[in-house]
Structure 1
C-alpha cells in the first residue's frame, strides 16, 4: 500500500479510532488518482475502509463492524476553480469550509452553508448533509451541489453533474452521495453554487413561555413576505423558548423587513445580535 501513496500511508495510532474501532492503517491521499489506487488495492485485499475528513462528525453514523484502513481527505485541499461571474466554485473535498469562505469572501461571495465545527471539510459536510439554519432561504447541501467527483469502493473514479446550475446530464449521483456518510464512495471534489455576501444582516428575537407559542410565532414569520434567511428556536431544559429570525440583504430592504418582522412578533421582540446558540 505504501507503493501506492508513498509516505501517505502510516500505521494507525490510538487517536485514529473511528467511534472506538481502531484501524490498522491510515492513508492521506492528495489526489483523486491516489485515492482510486488506494481503494483498488484495498478492494483487492478485501480490506474494510472508512472515509474521513476532519473527523468532526465521525460519531454520527453507525460504528464500523470491522476496520482496516481509514482514508483521510485532509490532504486534498484547495479551490480548483472559482468562476465568480457564474457564482460557481470547484473545490477539493478536504478543504475546510472556513478556508473556502475566506477565499470566496475576497469576491464578496459565500457558500451559504453553516457548520458548528470550524475545521469541518467541504466533503464531510456533503457526506453528512449538514446545511445549517440558513437552508430556509438558500436551500440544503443537495440544492447547492451541482457536480461531484468520487471514488467507488473498487477504485473506479466516477463523476456526475458539472459546472452549470441547470445540468440534467446523467444520473444525479450528487444527491445520492449527499448524506451517505461515505458509505457509497470517497468524495474527492465538488462543484457548488454560490451566493453574494449580504450587505446587511439583522436578527429579531422573541422570548415566549412555551414551545407552542414559539411554533406559532415561527410559522407566522415563515408564512409572511419578510423572506427570512433563517428561523431558529432555543429552549433550555427549565426555561422559556427564544425564537430568532435572521434577515439578510441590502440595507434598505433589511430595514423594512426587520420592521415587518417586529410587527409580526409583537412589541416584546428585540432587534440585535444573534444569540450565542444561533446557528
Structure 2
C-alpha cells in the first residue's frame, strides 16, 4: 500500500459500494437491519480508515441482520469490541461500517463442568471476576488491558501461561460466528469435541475478523491454583539467560511460565512462575531457586507480567523462535534499529514467543527497513524456523510500505478458505496476510 493509498483510506474515500450518498439517512443502507446505526467518526477509525457507519447490535441475531443488510449492498464490515487493537494487522482496504460488539456482554458459567460461554463484547476482566467467585479462571493473561473476549480470540493473544496451558485457541470448546451473508454458524459447545467440518475455534482465532464476526465463545476453564511463587534471576547476557531457562525446563518442577525481559539490550531478567498446592510449592520454588543463582522468590507476579513492551504509537513486533535459538534472536532484536538504540523485548522464553517494540519516534521509512532487516536476521539465525510479524504499527509506517507478515506458508489454502466463507471479500478486507 502506498502513502497515497493510505491517505485515501484515512479520509474514508476507499472505492467501492460504500460510496453511497448520505442522503440515505444516518443509518444508510444498514437501516434495514433494525439495529442502532450512527455515522462513523475519526474515533472509529480502523487502521486509519474511517467508517461511514457504526452499527451496534444487541445480540447475535442483530449481528446477523447487520451482516445480511451489508451483504445485499456489498458493504465492507469490520468487527470491533473495546477498540484496544483496531490498528492490528494491515489497514483494511475498505471499512464501510464498524460492527460494535460491546453490547454482546454476557457470561454463562457452568462451574460444575469447568466451562463458560461469554459474549464477544465481554471484557476479560469482567469474565475473570465472575469466574473467580467460583475459584476458577480462564488461563489467558491480560496482555492488552481492556481487551474483550472477541478481541482476544480475533487477534490470537496468548500470554505467559501458554507454555503450560497452550495458546488461547486450545482453550476454545465452541464458538458462534456470523458469516458474511448473515448466516449464523455454531460449532462445539459444552463438549470436548467439536462437530464435523471446520473447527471454527481454530479457524477464527487470530484471523482478525476476516472470516466472520465472532459473537460468543465457549472455553474450558481451570481451577485457580491455591498458591503461586515467582522465582526471578538476572542474567548478564542472552546466552546465560538461555542456560538458566534450559536448566528449569530440564527439571521436574513443572513451571506454568518462563518469561524473559530485556528492556534495554543489556541484562535479561528470567521469571519462572510456579503454581499448585501450598504444601508442594515451597519445595518446587527451592529447587528452581537452586537452579538460578542469585534469584529471588516472591508470591506476587512482577510488574508488567504478560504486558507487551513499548507504548502508544510504537511498532509492535511478534517473534517466534525455537527456545534453543533464544540468545541469537534477542541479540538480533537488540541491533534492529541502530538509529533508536536497542529495542525492548519481552515474552515467553519457554515457548519461544517474544514481543519487541520499535519506538514511535522512528521515522516510517526507517521502521520499514528495520522490520525487513530484523525479519531476515531472525529467519537466518533460526535456520528458517523463526518468524517476525508486525502486530500493530502507526498508519504512517503502513503507508511507507510495511510488510506486516513476510513469507506466509499455506497462503493458497488460506485464500481458499477466505473465498469459501467470504466470497465477496467484505469482512475486514485486507487486514490479514496476503491481503485476505
Task: Tell me the TM-score normalized by structure 1.
Answer: 0.95
User: What does 1:74-93 align with in structure 2 at a 5 Å threshold?
Assistant: 74-79=102-107, 81-93=108-120
Offset at 1:221? Answer: 1.1
Q: Map Cα deviations across residues 66-92 of structure 1 (whole Å, 9 max, x no partner).
A: 21100111110011x211111001111
Task: Flag the 1:167–1:50 CA change in 2: closer, same or farther, 3 A.
Answer: closer
Q: What does residue 104 of structure 1 align with?
A: 131
Query: In the alignment, is residue 28 of structure 1 matched against residue 48 of structure 2?
Result: no
Q: 2:296 aligns with which of 258, 270, 273?
A: 270
State whether residues 51 and 96 of structure 2, in contact with CA within 8 Å, keep that contact through their aligned partners in structure 1: yes
Q: 2:143 aligns with which of 100, 116, 123?
A: 116
Shifted more, 268-277 versus 33-42: the winner is 268-277
State whether residues 146 and 167 of structure 1, in contact with CA within 8 Å, keep that contact through their aligned partners in structure 2: yes
Offset at 1:274? Answer: 2.8
For the residues of structure 2 that align with 1:63 and 1:102, how far apart are their CA atoms?
34
The secondary structure found in structure 1 opposite 2:175 is strand
Offset at 1:56? Answer: 1.0
The secondary structure found in structure 1 opposite 2:134 is coil
Q: 1:220 aligns with which of 236, 247, 266?
A: 247
Q: What does residue 281 of structure 2 align with?
A: 254
For the residues of structure 2 that align with 1:176 and 1:131, how far apart are their CA atoms?
16
Query: In the alignment, is residue 39 of structure 1 matched against residue 67 of structure 2?
Result: yes
For the residues of structure 1 that align with 2:32 and 2:72, how far apart are their CA atoms?
15
Q: What does residue 310 of structure 2 align with?
A: none
Q: What does residue 377 of structure 2 align with?
A: none
Q: What does residue 33 of structure 2 align with?
A: 4
State whether residues 234 and 277 of structure 1, in contact with CA within 8 Å, keep that contact through their aligned partners in structure 2: no
* RMSD, aligned α-carbons: 1.3
The secondary structure found in structure 1 opposite 2:34 is helix
Q: 1:158 aligns with which of 173, 185, 204?
A: 185
Moved over 4 A (4+): none
For the residues of structure 1 that align with 2:76 and 2:32, how far apart are their CA atoms?
19
For the residues of structure 2 that align with 1:102 and 1:15, how far apart are their CA atoms?
29
Q: Map Cα deviations across residues 100-155 of structure 1 (whole Å, 9 max, x no partner).
A: 00000010000100123332000110111101001111111111001000001111
State whether residues 187 and 194 of structure 2, in contact with CA within 8 Å, keep that contact through their aligned partners in structure 1: no
For the residues of structure 2 that align with 1:203 and 1:75, how far apart are their CA atoms?
37
For the residues of structure 2 that align with 1:90 and 1:230, how far apart are their CA atoms?
26
State whether residues 124 and 147 of structure 2, in contact with CA within 8 Å, keep that contact through their aligned partners in structure 1: yes
For the residues of structure 2 that align with 1:169 and 1:109, how far apart are their CA atoms?
29
| Count of aligned pairs between the two proteins | 276
The secondary structure found in structure 1 opposite 2:286 is helix
Q: Unaligned stretches of 5+ in structure 1?
A: none
Q: What does residue 173 of structure 1 align with?
A: 200
State whether residues 78 and 98 of structure 2, in contact with CA within 8 Å, keep that contact through their aligned partners in structure 1: yes
For the residues of structure 2 that align with 1:128 and 1:5, how far apart are their CA atoms?
29
State whether residues 143 and 157 of structure 2, in contact with CA within 8 Å, keep that contact through their aligned partners in structure 1: no
Offset at 1:171? Answer: 2.9
State whether residues 50 and 95 of structure 2, in contact with CA within 8 Å, keep that contact through their aligned partners in structure 1: yes
For the residues of structure 1 that align with 2:184 and 2:51, how far apart are their CA atoms?
24
Q: What does residue 96 of structure 2 align with?
A: 68
For the residues of structure 2 that align with 1:61 and 1:238, how far apart are their CA atoms?
27
User: What does 1:235-250 align with in structure 2 at a 5 Å threshold?
Assistant: 235-250=262-277
State whether residues 161 and 170 of structure 1, in contact with CA within 8 Å, keep that contact through their aligned partners in structure 2: no
The secondary structure found in structure 2 opposite 1:150 is strand
Q: What does residue 207 of structure 1 align with?
A: 234
Q: 1:49 aligns with which of 58, 74, 77?
A: 77
Query: Which has more strand, going by share of residues?
Result: 1
State whether residues 110 and 194 of structure 1, in contact with CA within 8 Å, keep that contact through their aligned partners in structure 2: yes
State whether residues 260 and 268 of structure 2, in contact with CA within 8 Å, keep that contact through their aligned partners in structure 1: yes
Task: Tell me the TM-score normalized by structure 2.
Answer: 0.62
For the residues of structure 2 that align with 1:120 and 1:236, how far apart are their CA atoms?
24
